[in-house]
Amino acid sequence: MKDLYENEMKLEFLSKSNNEAFARITVAAFAAQLDPTIEELSDIKTAVSEAVTNCIIHGYEDSEGIIKIITKIYHNTIIIEISDTGKGIENIDKAREPLYTSKPNLERSGMGFTIMESFMDEVNIESIVGLGTKVTMKKKIKLLKKESEEELKNNLLFT
Amino acid sequence: MNIEYDNKDKLLTIKINEEIDHHAVEKIRRRADYEIQRYMPKRVVFDFNNVSFMDSSGIGMVVGRYKLISMLGGELSMINVKENLYKILKMSGVSNIIPIKEAKI
Ligand SMILES: Nc1ncnc2c1ncn2[C@@H]1O[C@H](COP(=O)(O)OP(=O)(O)OP(=O)(O)O)[C@@H](O)[C@H]1O
Ligand SMILES: [Mg+2]
């Protein structure tokens, strides 16, 4: 067994669309210490991209604001908190529905929250109209594969 | 972005060479719509061979082009779709309306 491992990082940046790639790549680089598979890393990148894009398009609309990301690692779980102080969400249940978008004219598909939910283990949305939105996502990075590889190696050594 | 037009087959190939997110989509959409309206192709293919990342902005972009191309009487398909792109195209139901084809080798 691995010992309990904890780590944390914070990131703040302007709600400019050219920061979307910066945000997802930075979180993925931080997540890399958990030794995720390529697929797990790609899932994390996509989920972060969805949440950050939402802050820019919906939270701040045409104005500019600060997007904050706090990423924590606790044992083998990554917890990512992405927040804005923009306009907030009136109806969270509706926002979570697949294909629901308040901006169909901008060619949005309404799949952002559905993608976050399917790529991460847990997605929690907190929002107050006029104050902002915070999305917290968790994903457990599987150790299983590596441990069984280790076991296999040990077995080979002792037989 | 590489554009290729085969006049004999009336086939327009749009090859995207960057990560497809909200930032990138604006430019891709403008160029693609321009080329589609210029050539009026029978078939349009999005080649994703050099696309390593796509989020829901890409879904909106692809569906938007699908609507334009259909309106002009053409057909749209996609090739060289990587595993991670396939996942969200499938999840959103896009792969049911826009076929993903095997690339010719
Ligand atoms: N940070 C936010 N601030 C305000 N409203 C938000 C925020 N995030 C999401 N919403 C609301 O929730 C809806 C659903 O979000 P979701 O990401 O699922 O779809 P979308 O952004 O509209 O489309 P897509 O993500 O597919 O491009 C949005 O249309 C918007 O009304
Ligand atoms: Mg979204």
Given the CA of residue A111, which atom of ligand 1 is nearest to it? 26
Compute the distance from residue A95 Cα to the ligand 1 centre, in Å.
Answer: 6
- Catalytic option among A19, A76, A96, A108: A108
Task: Tell me the two tokens of residue A138.
Answer: 């968790």
The share of chain A scoring above pLDDT 70, in percent, equals 88
Q: Which residue of A has its CA nearest to B54?
A: A46
Nearest-ligand number for the alpha carbon of A99: 1
ipTM above 0.90, yes or no: yes
Q: What are phi and psi of A152, to 5 degrees?
A: -60, -45
Q: In A6-121, which ranges are E strands?
A: 6-14, 66-74, 77-84
* A124 bridge partner residues: A136
Does the structure show a pLDDT above 70 at A151? no
pLDDT value at residue A152: 65
Contact: B60, A21; criterion CB under 8 Å: no
Task: State whether residue A16 is helix, strand or coil.
Answer: coil
- Give the domains, in start order, of chain B with CATH numbers: 2-104 (3.30.750.24)
pLDDT value at residue A102: 96
Does the structure show a pLDDT above 60 at A2? no
Residues on chain A bordering chain B, Cβ-to-Cβ distance under 8 angstroms: 17-18, 20-21, 24, 39, 42-43, 45-46, 49-50, 53, 56-57, 106-109, 111-112, 114-115, 118
Tell me the shortest Cα–Cα distance from B51 to chain A, in angstroms: 13
